[in-house]
Amino acid sequence: MGKSDMDIVSAKAASDLLVRHWQDGTVLAALPDGLRPASRQEGYLIQQQIEAISERPLFGWKIAATSTAGQKHIGIDAPIAGRLLQSMVFQAGHEVPFGANRMRVAEAEFAFLIGRDLEPRDRPYDVDEVVDAIADLFLAIEIPDSRFVDYVTAGAPQLIADNACAHRFVLGPRAPAVWRQLDLSAHRVIGRVGERLVREGVGANVLGDPRLALTWLANELSDIGVNLGAGQIVTTGTCVIPLDIAPGDSVAIDFNVLGQVGCRFSEP
């Protein structure tokens, strides 16, 4: 993925600036000169610093832009990965703070629990190896947001530094074991926002198959020397066109035989 010329001091300063905007619900036009990543590698170095704001272990990872439409939407040409902190995670059925979210969408996602470490190595992981490392499948909703005024023109390095637009995450129920026998690429998912919006999608919208997306993440982390750890959750990207949301909305996602997941967003 290339060598980074950014030092840790600059990476931490960039991360601190982004975290402050995230916590305050404010935005910035761009990271200032000297703190702006010039490559995906530097973006990940900045992103890594966000772990320091949490005393608890990293909850897991998210993958953004796992479809061509999703990539076009944020102006990039490949997926990007972000970190999920424990403070971002809410349980299904609970109220989720809406806050100053500007993206204003909810995403229906397959989320995998990793059962054993997938450590960095020289050769790529293949799908069978990665699937063998999965302990369980969970149903999930991701609620992204960005710290940039115009995230469409921010570019991949800055969006990676911005934690791949990670914001809130709703962990739903564990899927029944039958998921291992299903073709997840063909699996239909229905998302609803109250009575006003219904959208359908399939697992193929997630890099062709959610398991392929998980394999992409394992290799993306391996390339930057980061371990995908046992016990971490990976949410793999939306299989339904993102659902438009507003404060007070309720979202319900139906994964057919695998179950349902839902949440409600707080009023102003």
Domain ranges in the chain? 56-265
Nearest to 63 by CA among 214, 241, 240, 236: 236
Percent of the chain with pLDDT over 70: 99
* Residue 2 reports pLDDT greater than 70: no
pLDDT of residue 3: 58
Which amino acid, residue 263? C
5: confidence class by pLDDT, cuts 50, 70, 90:
confident
* Residue 16 reports pLDDT greater than 90: yes
User: For 161-179, what is the mean pLDDT?
Assistant: 98
Close Cβ partners of 227 (under 8 Å, ≥ 6 residues apart) = 117, 118, 119, 120, 221
Q: Which helix (H) or strand (E) holds 96?
A: strand 95-96
Q: Is 265 helix (H, G, I), strand (E, B) or coil?
A: strand
Beta-bridged to residue 260, according to DSSP, are 254
pLDDT of residue 219: 98
4/198: higher pLDDT: 198
Q: Yes or no: say if 250 and 267 are a contact pair by the CB < 8 Å rule.
A: no
* Residue 34 reports pLDDT greater than 90: yes
pLDDT, tens only, 79-122:
999 999 999 999 999 999 999 999 999 999 999 999 999 999 99
* Residue 143 reports pLDDT greater than 70: yes
The yes or no reply on domain 56-265 and CATH 3.50.50.60 is: no
Q: How far is CA 168 from CA 24, 117, 153, 193, 198, in A?
A: 15, 25, 23, 17, 21
268: confidence class by pLDDT, cuts 50, 70, 90:
confident
* Residue 1 reports pLDDT greater than 70: no
β-pair type (80-84, 134-143):
unpaired
* Residue 37 reports pLDDT greater than 60: yes
Q: State the CB neighbour count (10 A cutoff) for residue 124.
A: 12
Residue 199 is classified by DSSP as: E
With residues binned 3-state (H G I as helix, E B as strand, rest as coil), the percentages for the chain, rounded to 5, are 30, 30, 40
User: For 63-69, what is the mean pLDDT?
Assistant: 93
Q: Yes or no: say if 107 and 142 are a contact pair by the CB < 8 Å rule.
A: yes
List of E strands, 119-247 = 134-143, 168-174, 188-193, 197-202, 233-238, 243-244
Is the pTM higher than 0.95? The answer reads yes
Mean pLDDT of the chain: 97
Q: Yes or no: say if 51 and 12 are a contact pair by the CB < 8 Å rule.
A: no
Q: State the CB neighbour count (10 A cutoff) for residue 169.
A: 24
